[in-house]
């Protein structure tokens, strides 16, 4: 099957094995992640990789190495193990590129190879919290995106409405948000998010991935992706609000 042919799809997307090929067992899972076909840019890169173009492989590593390592650390216990998973992933890409049939974007295929290997490595180590448990914890109840006390309670005529609404960020909020000081602060606040929330926010808002791409790469449901993104964004906004309040007070 080539890029232009009909995809073999599960309920939510293409079923991929660790090598990126169709896996009947994966297809049977109701929560198999969605996948997107390669972009025109990726098609060019795929053909170059198949020709053995070393520069194409270097470009692929440049694009994805840093984020791949971050994702690997969600599953394994140390930086050293994450590096080993990365090496296994790139070896899998090198060995599998000739068989890659375009039933997912190249980026999604690579990240699925990584997550399959990282998950298996984490399970063998038996020293890390299972990824599914981390997802369940981060999307479970008891972790409100905004402090409940900021909303009107049931005794008010408008329960659930803002009691303490978000404040304006000065007369020129865009200048504040894009300042180096604010970007440095935001980077630190991002690092303080729970790991999967941080990863989803990074992929969606920094790497500009689509929701489907994030679901496919991290093997999470669309509903969980929405919850994780909303909570992460809300926490970052709350942190920025407090940061700007301090700036106003110091001005």
Q: What are the tens digits of pLDDT across the range 133-183?
A: 777 777 775 566 666 666 677 777 777 666 666 666 555 555 555 667 777
Is the model's pLDDT at 32 over the cut of 70?
no
Greater pLDDT, 121 or 159 = 121
Model confidence at 1: pLDDT above 70: no
With the C-alpha atoms ordered 77, 65, 3, 201, is the resulting torsion angle positive or negative? positive
Rounded to the nearest integer, the mean pLDDT of the chain is: 75
- pTM (two decimals): 0.64
Distance CA 163, CA 43 (A): 52
| Mean pLDDT, rounded, for 81-95 | 94
Report whether 239 contacts 197 (CB < 8 A).
no
Task: Please answer whether residues 104 and 16 qualify as being in contact, where contact means their C-beta atoms are separated by less than 8 angstroms.
Answer: yes
d(CA 17, CA 104): 12
Per the CB < 8 A criterion, the answer to whether 213 and 207 are in contact is no
Q: Where are the alpha helices (DSSP H) in the chain?
A: 24-27, 40-50, 54-72, 79-96, 106-125, 131-139, 173-178, 180-191, 195-201, 211-218, 222-250
Q: Is the pLDDT of residue 239 over 80?
A: yes
215, two tokens: 């679901």
Which domains does the chain carry? 24-128 (1.10.1740.10), 135-250 (1.10.10.10)
121 contact partners, CB below 8 Å, separation of at least 6: 75, 76, 81, 84, 85
CA distance 36 to 250: 48
Look up residue 239 and give its two tokens: 């942190």
10 Å CB burial of residue 20 (0-12, 13-18, 19+) is buried
Contacts for 179 with CB less than 8 Å, ≥ 6 apart: none
pLDDT at position 64 is: 93
33: nearest Cα among 222, 227, 191: 222
Least confident of 16-30, 56-70, 139-153, 181-195: 16-30
35 or 142, which is more confident: 142
Task: Centre a 10 Å sphere on the Cβ of residue 44 and count the other Cβ atoms it contains.
Answer: 12
């Amino acid at each position: 099957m080539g890029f232009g042919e009909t995809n073999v799809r599960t309920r939510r997307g293409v079923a991929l094995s660790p090598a990126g090929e169709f896996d009947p067992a994966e297809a049977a899972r109701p929560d198999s992640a969605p996948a997107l076909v390669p972009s025109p840019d990726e098609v060019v890169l795929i053909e170059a990789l198949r020709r053995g173009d070393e520069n194409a492989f270097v470009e692929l590593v440049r694009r994805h190495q840093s984020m791949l390592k971050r994702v690997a650390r969600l599953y394994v216990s140390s930086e050293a193990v994450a590096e080993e998973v990365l090496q296994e992933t790139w070896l899998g890409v090198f060995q599998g590129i000739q068989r890659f049939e375009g039933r997912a974007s190249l980026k999604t295929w690579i990240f699925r190879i990584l997550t399959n290997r990282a998950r298996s490595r984490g399970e063998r180590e038996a020293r890390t919290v299972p990824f599914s448990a981390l997802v369940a914890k981060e999307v479970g109840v008891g972790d409100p995106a905004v402090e409940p006390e900021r909303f009107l309670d049931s005794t008010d005529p408008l329960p659930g409405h803002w009691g303490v609404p978000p404040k304006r960020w000065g007369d020129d909020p865009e200048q504040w948000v894009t300042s180096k000081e604010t970007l440095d602060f935001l980077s630190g606040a991002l690092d303080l998010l729970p790991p999967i929330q941080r990863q989803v926010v990074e992929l969606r808002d920094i790497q500009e991935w689509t929701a489907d791409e994030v679901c496919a790469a991290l093997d999470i449901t669309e509903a969980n992706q929405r919850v994780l993104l909303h909570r992460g964004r809300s926490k970052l906004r709350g942190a920025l609000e407090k940061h700007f309040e301090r700036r106003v007070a110091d001005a």
